[in-house]
Chain A
Amino acid sequence: DSGVTQTPKHLITATGQRVTLRCSPRSGDLSVYWYQQSLDQGLQFLIQYYNGEERAKGNILERFSAQQFPDLHSELNLSSLELGDSALYFCASSPGWTGEGDTEAFFGQGTRLTVV
């Protein structure tokens, strides 16, 4: 058990809909990252939050947004869903930026999103 909790594990929804994926980081971790894993794109970084603030953005579509709450859990919102958004979405957490960089990063079990 990595200590990172993601819900739900599976999600099936129709095109055009909106879903919210939730992540609770490991106790004490301040940084939360979202990744998308698809067959054609591999593992792609989407966005990072550190202690409630957005720190880095990767290949995240404008239809997608995220936030980190005061209790440090994070949500990834996906809207106007398309078939191509079907993927495994991971949340990861790490202690946070110390200037030296984290030596560990633990992933949740992922949310498998299927858009039909």
Chain B
Amino acid sequence: AQKITQTQPGMFVQEKEAVTLDCTYDTSDPSYGLFWYKQPSSGEMIFLIYQGSYDQQNATEGRYSLNFQKARKSANLVISASQLGDSAMYFCAMREIPGTGGYNKLIFGAGTRLAVHP
């Protein structure tokens, strides 16, 4: 079965510094997708970045980048130049493989709470 593990319940970082949020995954299929979401205290889930298992390069979206190490089955989120508004819960998720019956449903990790300090 597919599984997402986020081992850091909480992290803190100083404003303007970079921070890495860890995510490891477990799957037996060579084709999968990995997502990161941000959930601020207001509750909404904000899509940040996507990485496909066959993508040759690490995904980047503005200050967000994904450090994808396929052999280690890790997909860490890197936030550069942290801002106070980055304080939130961050979830790593994996897309279940099309064709297994689950189509595009997402399996989520437990999340990491990030606090950015001034």
Whether the Cβ atoms of A110 and B33 lie closer than 8 Å is no
Shortest beta-carbon distance, A33 to chain B, in Å?
6
- Say yes or no: A99-B98 contact (C-beta < 8 A), given A105-B35, A112-B43: yes
The 8 A CB mask of B33-64 against A (1 = contact, 0 = none) is 10101000001111100101000000000000
In the bound complex, CA of A101 to CA of B28 (Å): 16
Q: Chain A: how many interface residues by the 8 Å CB criterion?
A: 32
Whether the Cβ atoms of A101 and B33 lie closer than 8 Å is yes
A78-100 contacts to B, CB under 8 A, are 88, 90, 92, 94, 96-100
Shortest beta-carbon distance, A12 to chain B, in Å?
16
Could you say which residues of chain B place their CB within 8 Å of the CB of A104?
Answer: 47, 50
Most chain B beta-carbon contacts within 10 A, residue among A55, A99, A105, A109: A105
In the bound complex, CA of A102 to CA of B111 (Å): 22
Could you say which residues of chain B place their CB within 8 Å of the CB of A55?
Answer: 103
Whether the Cβ atoms of A42 and B103 lie closer than 8 Å is no
Of all chain A residues, the one with the shortest Cβ separation from B108 is A43
Whether the Cβ atoms of A101 and B104 lie closer than 8 Å is yes
Could you say which residues of chain B place their CB within 8 Å of the CB of A102?
Answer: 33, 95, 104
A39-80 contacts to B, CB under 8 A, are 42-43, 45, 48, 50, 55-56, 58
Whether the Cβ atoms of B103 and A56 lie closer than 8 Å is yes
Could you say which residues of chain B place their CB within 8 Å of the CB of A42?
Answer: 108, 110-111
Whether the Cβ atoms of A100 and B104 lie closer than 8 Å is no
